[in-house]
């Protein structure tokens, strides 16, 4: 083949491969409800905090900077009902932590400012919570399930298997083995939702949608909310502990991810996907479960974000 013709053929092949590669990339734009935005809002219920170092929360963090890792539950209000996203720390967490948390990790996970979600909600006369949706099953996200015996606890079947078989420090058996917990497993529908190949529309109107964020645990999920103002929020659980990790596409520090990430490589891939979503959706609120900087800016229960 003449050199000039070879160059043309090679160039065309490269262009075709590039186009096919771009076509294979998922659209990072998050869909919105097709009709008028329903009256959706959320509030962050802070149940405790753990002092730590920035460098222990994401790979680009500073050792000299002290930060707080919050423990929260998110109360979501929709015209068709309310639910909690995760439960935060609960009334029995202290005893469970002392009894079953391994000694070598206790200094890193000690918490302060303890204020269970159930006590805060009851103090303001809030109606009973009938559903708790878990981003994942780690101990600090399920610690208050005992405080809500009337609630169904929603998680994927894979995550329930993980919860029932994982060991401390990931899961404390005393928190999840009580016969009274009303586990409710669900499957994500195999239909695309923006960049996600699966999703579950909780109310059928596109305003509260669960999406797969696998890696940190086998069945980790996130929640996309479209608020009454039209603004969108993406709750990412523990895929990244700080929004800085998403912004810089950085994983957790080596030691941290070895201890807490079920699949560190898959978790980092999810961080990269979240970064693409962040870049493609201006104004999107990305809310990690433990990022006190993000939480402080939004405010805490009883302040609502709409």
Residue 9 lies in a domain: no
Q: Torsion-angle region of residue 139: left (phi > 0), alpha (psi -120 to 50) or beta?
A: alpha
Helix H segments across 187-230? none
Residue 41 lies in a domain: yes
Contacts of residue 184, defined as CB under 8 A and 6 or more positions apart, other chains included, come to 131, 152, 153, 154, 155
Q: Count structural domains, the chain.
A: 1
Residue 7 lies in a domain: no
Collapsing DSSP to helix, strand or coil, 88 comes out as coil
Residue 268 lies in a domain: yes
Residue 13 lies in a domain: no
Residues of the chain with pLDDT under 50: 5-24
Residue 14: predicted pLDDT = 43
pTM score: 0.91
Residue 15 lies in a domain: no
Q: How far is CA 250 from the centre of its chain?
A: 16
Residue 22: predicted pLDDT = 37
Range of the domain at 91: 33-298
Residue 6 lies in a domain: no
Residue 25: predicted pLDDT = 62
Which CATH number characterizes residue 213's domain?
A: 3.60.15.10
Residue 303 lies in a domain: no
Contacts of residue 91, defined as CB under 8 A and 6 or more positions apart, other chains included, come to 116, 118, 119, 144, 146, 147
CA 228, CA 246: separation in Å to the nearest integer?
25
């Amino acid at each position: 083949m003449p050199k000039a013709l070879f160059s043309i053929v090679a160039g065309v092949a490269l262009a075709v491969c590039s186009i096919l590669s771009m076509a294979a990339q998922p659209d990072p734009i998050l869909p919105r409800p097709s009709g008028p935005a329903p009256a959706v809002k959320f509030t962050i219920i802070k149940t405790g905090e753990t002092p730590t170092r920035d460098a222990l929360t994401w790979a680009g963090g500073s050792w000299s900077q002290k930060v707080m890792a919050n423990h929260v539950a998110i109360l979501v209000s929709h015209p068709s009902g309310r639910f909690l996203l995760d439960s935060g720390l609960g009334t029995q967490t202290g005893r469970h932590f002392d009894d079953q948390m391994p000694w070598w990790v206790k200094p890193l996970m000690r918490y302060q400012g303890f204020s269970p979600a159930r006590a805060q909600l009851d103090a303001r006369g809030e109606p009973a919570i009938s559903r708790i949706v878990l981003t994942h099953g780690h101990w600090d996200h399920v610690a208050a399930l005992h405080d809500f015996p009337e609630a169904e606890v929603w998680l994927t079947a894979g995550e329930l298997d993980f919860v029932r078989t994982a060991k401390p420090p990931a899961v404390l058996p005393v928190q999840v083995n009580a016969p009274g917990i009303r586990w409710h497993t669900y499957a994500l529908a195999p239909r695309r939702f923006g960049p996600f190949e699966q999703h579950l529309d909780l109310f059928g109107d596109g305003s509260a949608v669960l999406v797969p964020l696998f890696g940190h645990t086998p069945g980790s999920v996130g929640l996309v909310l479209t608020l009454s103002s039209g603004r969108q929020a993406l709750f990412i659980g523990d895929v990244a502990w700080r929004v800085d990790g998403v912004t810089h596409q950085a994983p957790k520090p080596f030691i941290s991810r070895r201890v807490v990430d079920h699949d560190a490589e898959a978790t980092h891939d999810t961080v990269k996907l979240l970064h693409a979503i962040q870049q493609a959706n201006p104004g999107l609120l990305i809310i990690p479960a433990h990022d006190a900087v993000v939480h402080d800016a939004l405010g805490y229960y009883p302040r609502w974000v709409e």
